[in-house]
Amino acid sequence: MKKKIFFISCFSLMYLISCSVNHEIVKPKSGDYQWQVTHSSQASAPVICGTVNDFDTKKPLGKNGAIKINQSVKQKTDLNGGFSFKVEPGKYAFTIVAFPYDLVTTKKIQVNLGDSVKLKVYLKPSSEPMVD
């Protein structure tokens, strides 16, 4: 009986670990981002969600940001710097832009049916002078 409970406990723990994958902070030159993929057994369209924040203050940027896929805007951020949208399964690099901040492009992230990807992005203020 103890062996059976131990086996079930180990299996459950392994399943939980495989269902949610955290990734370390990635530090491109223009800011940081973290991402987490949560897998589901449901065959629903992958969901991409997250927040865009100021690098220094860590506060959300509000409606100032946009998330691009293949150079076209997929979603603008809401009042709290948040975004959420569905994509087809595939491998995507997301570009996050906001004025007057440097943009950040993620590495390519594989998303499958049932996946939920959470991005937390930190943009640095642009070092480029503003042009009139």
Tens of pLDDT along 18-43? Answer: 334 444 445 555 688 888 888 888 88
Residue 9 lies in a domain: no
Residue 7 lies in a domain: no
Tens digit of each residue's pLDDT (9 = 90 or more) over 82-100 = 999 999 999 999 999 998 9
Domain with 108 in it? 22-123
Residue 97 lies in a domain: yes
Model confidence, pTM: 0.72
pLDDT for residue 33: 85
Residue 58 lies in a domain: yes
Residue 119 lies in a domain: yes
The CATH number of the domain holding residue 106 is: 2.60.40.1120
Residue 30 lies in a domain: yes
Residue 26 lies in a domain: yes
Residue 40 lies in a domain: yes
Residues above pLDDT 70, as percent of the chain: 73
User: Number of structural domains, the chain?
Assistant: 1
Neighbouring C-alpha atoms within 13 Å toward the C-beta of 132: 0
Q: Where are the beta strands (DSSP E) in the chain?
A: 20-22, 31-38, 47-54, 65-69, 72-76, 82-86, 90-92, 94-98, 104-105, 109-111, 116-123
